[in-house]
Structure 1
Amino acid sequence: MKKFNIQSAYADSIATEARTCLNQLKTAKKNLISKLELQIQAKTTATKKLIIKLEKTLFLATKKGFPHIQARNKFHNQLLGLKSKIQKIASLKRKLKKLKNTERLHICFGSSKLFNAQHNLSENGYKTLDEWSDYWRKKRSGRLFCVGKSQPGGGTMMKVFPLQEDGLYQLQVQLPRPLQDKYGQKIQLEFSVSNRNGRLISTDLDYAINNLKPITISIFRREHKQDNWYIHLSTYVAEIPVFHTRKNCCLGIDFNADSISVTYVKWDGNIEYLEEIAYKWKNQTTGQRQTSMRNIVCQVVFLAEFFECAIAIESLDFTKKKSIARSEEGKVYNEMLVLLSTGMFREAILSRSRRFGVELIKVNPAFTSVIGMINYMGKYGLNSGTAAALVIGRRALKLSEKIPQCLLRLEDVNKHDWSHWRRVASFIKLHRILWTQLFQWRKTLEGIRSP
């Protein structure tokens, strides 16, 4: 602290921020290792299946030859695909080994990309090293951060106080010593807080100030926004009790390729209201997808408030599903999982549900689509997504899903219901039955009872 001539509070804040970054890197490393292991496992499984398929094709071709030129070309392309898969697995294994052997984790304030730009100045738009150095110092000096403390004003070096004027607050910033000769010991800024999208921001801030809650304050500069400075406050807010619960029934939510299905399920298990909320996920930036997800969450929570009921979603692990999808799922669904901000949706709906007192229920996703298509799609004239949302809502209400008697085998009578649905799902997958065919599932699944 003496060496850099800064106050102890700022030194503590810098240490806290560095420690937080280091912990995030450790978590990211652990998650990346798990992700790579899942990808290697999935790609290895897919490669083994392809090898078995090619061996059978080659065995038949050795005896009888290829039936036509297209079959030979297809076999040739599959061999090239096999080579590509093997190379990809080897690449992932090298990456995994390198990651596991990495002992030190590095933090670069100002970004490593900008740091490396000094070695290739012209390629990165810098004429001289001095020009890069000025921008480097500017990038690293564009932030003030102070951890909150439970005392009046919510902090030490930065404090927030309400003013007598209605809705106005004052931020008092005690500057670091190196800046005091130029800007003075303190600066005072007045600001107002407005409530938006149902968020009582001013109420939350008043609660924190009146109850001496710590307020962590970050002041940062945005170079791409004309070097404007921004202030970010984070603090504790009063816990909101849950008003809207499953006692008033439930909203079931299911993801589809281009929409989210929402159904309001009553206690008798029947559907009373349904809605398809469309969204665009192709050719969208991350910010656009996140904005779209937030808007959808607002609509869903508004419906839950209107019906005064709970919300039910599937407890899916999309991190694992993304890794496996890259090797096994279809291209459309694979692309949807990669581009769709499912993590953002879950975080947003969890946060907004808690803020508006809505109970959020996570249910087991097993066979929701199959059950919906068999039991409810044809019965109510629904699409597959809405039928699955109905099943999710029913499952949140603890309602059971019996398999139709015509699909039940005598030897399976004493087994669990999910065992029956697993057999149906396997039959549909084995025979590549389209969901549209299941509107007449009795005819489509005629051979399912045979051993």
Structure 2
Amino acid sequence: MADRQRKPLRTIARPFVADGPSGVSIRDRLKGLSADDEKVLRTIGEHMGRLASADLARRCRDGLEHSTDTWAARKRELTAESSSRWAGSVTSNMHDQWGLSRRAQWQHLVSLDAGIRTMRHRLSLPVGEKGSRGAPGGYRSKLEWFVKTRRLAILESAYERVRAEREAGRVSVVRGGRRLLKQRHNLAAANRTPEQWRSEWEAARWFLTADGESCKRFGNETIRVSPDGDVSIKLPAPLAELANAKNGRYVLAAKVSFPHRGDEWRDRIEANRAVAYRIHYNAASGRWYLDASWTRKDLPVIPLDALRAGGVVGVDTNADHLAAWRLDQHGNPMGAPRRFDYDLSGSATHRDAQLRHALTRLLHWSKQTGAQAIAIEDLDFTDSKTREKHGRKKRFRQLISGIPTGKLRARLLSMCAEAGIGVIAVDPAYTSMWGAEHWQKPLTTPQRPASRHEVASVAIGRRALGHRIRRRTAPPRQHQSDAGGHRTAQARPGDRGREGNRPLVPGSRTRSVRAGRGTNAVDQNAQDRSVRSAEHVQLLLRL
């Protein structure tokens, strides 16, 4: 049987400098709220939440027929029941929510298409046929083949339904979150009582968000926070009787200080630059919070060559740890590798804290090494987590799903921007395979073996620096002379010491005198040879 042709290597994308975060968001707790303050906040949230739900429903009905005229009509209707600024915040946020659902719908369509194509390929193969390199094989039994035909019909039906909805501009949106909505049908598994679920559901559907405005006092007219921490809210028109200050405003008894990035926030509001605010309630803990956010447009753009000059730290992302290794500008590993563990089990808050802690240790170590950039893979497992592609490899699918690709990259970009470290994204193709092939054996010592993840970080770092992953170029093809052409490993013109003597390698070279031990070990003209060097001939002619 003839050997199958090897799958051709795909094109490797060029490394690039990842863009930093486009905005900043900080949070502080509203402490010391009175009973009247909480009552007013609940009333405003319920009133604006009802208007936001109605506006989102209308935006979904407009679908692809949405235009500036329909947007203006929606805003005019909301202005009569709130204010022009409240109406602007509601319409912009609901439009963003519709766009987010539209993008999620497209990703779902792509996932269905990938599953259908994989299943059609496997069903076309004979039962029991093994897969080739990079392609899955046939199903194991006739029963499994029959079950997959039924599942293929289900996926095709779902694909046609989602495609028809997308072409018509219809999306599925749940104000308050689909996860919380589904918990209503199984409160015992969610460990919640009906009263607890109802309080969380209502709080999630409140709307207390105000967009920032430049050249306005303290950057926001609807929810205004002074440099001293006083919080005042412009009440909607139907709730004007609740005001406790002039001009229809309500001043809260609580004050905020924003311990994190408070100085930057204070500089913005004192300059009357736009700052958006959001007040939300955590029903589980019974606490109120205030979020402040703004866009950043003054981030410096560092060229790729400048980041490479000081070397990089290659980072390999895994399901339970980050493997990192420091490389100099020539692509050589320096020092020992580092491992930063995290545990992504438990609640979302715990997972986020574990990720931040691991990245904090990574950034501190990177700054100690003097590296100016961190190299990381540009990972996206959207098409690789389906059971249609990996079949019964449930543990492998769970492993891929456990790797925090999107969250880690977003968190790393924001933290590196504050630490002054650049992020270089590279193509993840073949990094683990080629790293193990070319670097695992040379970097393994009797005291410490190099793991596959550690050598993958070396491959990532070399790709970010613009070097090939393999250790060295090919040796001379015939012998130690240049009979087969110039040697492939030559010093570059700008390298220091390239015209000097070769280093003396210890060890026996002859039977009488060891290498580097002779009287004229470095002087080639003192040896017994028929041809003198060109420098020696020129010296004799001068004499």
Q: How high is the TM-score relative to the length of structure 2?
A: 0.60
What is the DSSP-based 3-state SS (H/G/I as helix, E as strand, rest coil) of the residue aligned with 1:260?
strand
Q: After TM superposition, give the deviation of residue 76 of structure 1 in Å.
A: 11
1:241–1:357 Cα contact (<8 Å) kept: no
The one-letter code matched in structure 2 to 1:209 is I
The one-letter code matched in structure 2 to 1:249 is G
- Can you give the 5+ residue segments of structure 2 that lack an aligned partner in the other structure? 1-76, 131-137, 445-449, 478-543
Instruction: Name the counterpart of 1:158.
Output: 223
What is the DSSP-based 3-state SS (H/G/I as helix, E as strand, rest coil) of the residue aligned with 1:153?
helix
List per-residue Cα deviations over 1:157-200 (Å, max 9, x = no partner).
Answer: 1122213xxxxx222211223333235332334211213xxxxx
How far apart are the structure 2 equivalents of 1:331 and 1:109?
Answer: 33
Q: Which one is further off, 212-221 or 287-296? A: 287-296
Instruction: Select which of 466, 480, 491 maps to 1:398.
Output: 466
Identity of aligned residues (%): 21
Decide whether aligned partners of structure 1 residues 334 and 138 sit closer, same or farther in structure 2, where only a CA change above 3 A counts. closer
What is the DSSP-based 3-state SS (H/G/I as helix, E as strand, rest coil) of the residue aligned with 2:288?
strand
How far apart are the structure 2 equivalents of 1:242 and 1:348?
Answer: 19
1:207–1:238 Cα contact (<8 Å) kept: no
Q: How high is the TM-score relative to the length of structure 1?
A: 0.72
Instruction: Name the counterpart of 1:105.
Output: 171
Instruction: Select which of 340, 346, 353 maps to 1:284.
Output: 346
Q: How does 1:190-205 map to 2 (within 5 A)?
A: 190-195=255-260, 201-205=261-265
Q: After TM superposition, give the deviation of residue 294 of structure 1 in Å.
A: 2.1
Instruction: Name the counterpart of 1:81.
Output: 144
2:426–2:460 Cα contact (<8 Å) kept: yes
What is the DSSP-based 3-state SS (H/G/I as helix, E as strand, rest coil) of the residue aligned with 1:192?
coil
1:149–1:156 Cα contact (<8 Å) kept: yes
How far apart are the structure 1 equivalents of 2:179 and 2:451?
Answer: 48
Q: After TM superposition, give the deviation of residue 143 of structure 1 in Å.
A: 2.8
Of structures 1 and 2, the one with the larger relative CO (CA 8 A, separation 6+) is 2
How far apart are the structure 1 equivalents of 2:388 and 2:368?
Answer: 37
Instruction: Name the counterpart of 2:207.
Output: 143
What is the DSSP-based 3-state SS (H/G/I as helix, E as strand, rest coil) of the residue aligned with 1:300?
helix
1:220–1:231 Cα contact (<8 Å) kept: yes
Instruction: Name the counterpart of 1:35.
Output: 111
The Cα RMSD (Å) is 3.7
List per-residue Cα deviations over 1:374-424 (Å, max 9, x = no partner).
Answer: 211111111111111111111111122348869x9xxxxxxxxxxxxxxxx
Q: After TM superposition, give the deviation of residue 223 of structure 1 in Å.
A: 2.3
Structure 1 or 2: more helix by fraction:
1
1:257–1:333 Cα contact (<8 Å) kept: no
- Can you give the 5+ residue segments of structure 1 that lack an aligned partner in the other structure? 55-74, 164-168, 196-200, 409-451
- 1:26 maps to 2:89: no
How far apart are the structure 1 equivalents of 2:333 and 2:120?
Answer: 43
What is the DSSP-based 3-state SS (H/G/I as helix, E as strand, rest coil) of the residue aligned with 2:310?
strand
Instruction: Name the counterpart of 1:5.
Output: 81
Instruction: Select which of 208, 220, 224 maps to 2:268.
Output: 208
Q: How does 1:167-178 map to 2 (within 5 A)?
A: 169-178=229-238
Decide whether aligned partners of structure 1 residues 287 and 328 sit closer, same or farther in structure 2, where only a CA change above 3 A counts. farther
Instruction: Name the counterpart of 1:230.
Output: 289
The one-letter code matched in structure 1 to 2:232 is Q
The one-letter code matched in structure 2 to 1:246 is R
What is the DSSP-based 3-state SS (H/G/I as helix, E as strand, rest coil) of the residue aligned with 1:245?
helix
List per-residue Cα deviations over 1:4-54 (Å, max 9, x = no partner).
Answer: 531111111111111111111111111111121122223333444463629
Give the aligned length: 372
Decide whether aligned partners of structure 1 residues 339 and 87 sit closer, same or farther in structure 2, where only a CA change above 3 A counts. farther
Q: Which one is further off, 343-352 or 96-105? A: 96-105
How far apart are the structure 1 equivalents of 2:239 and 2:231?
Answer: 18
Which structure has the bigger radius of gyration? Answer: 2
Instruction: Name the counterpart of 1:353.
Output: 416
The one-letter code matched in structure 2 to 1:304 is S
Instruction: Name the counterpart of 1:424.
Output: none
Decide whether aligned partners of structure 1 residues 344 and 257 sit closer, same or farther in structure 2, where only a CA change above 3 A counts. closer
Instruction: Name the counterpart of 1:413.
Output: none
Q: After TM superposition, give the deviation of residue 266 of structure 1 in Å.
A: 1.4
The one-letter code matched in structure 1 to 2:467 is L
The one-letter code matched in structure 1 to 2:455 is A
Instruction: Name the counterpart of 1:60.
Output: none
What is the DSSP-based 3-state SS (H/G/I as helix, E as strand, rest coil) of the residue aligned with 2:118?
helix
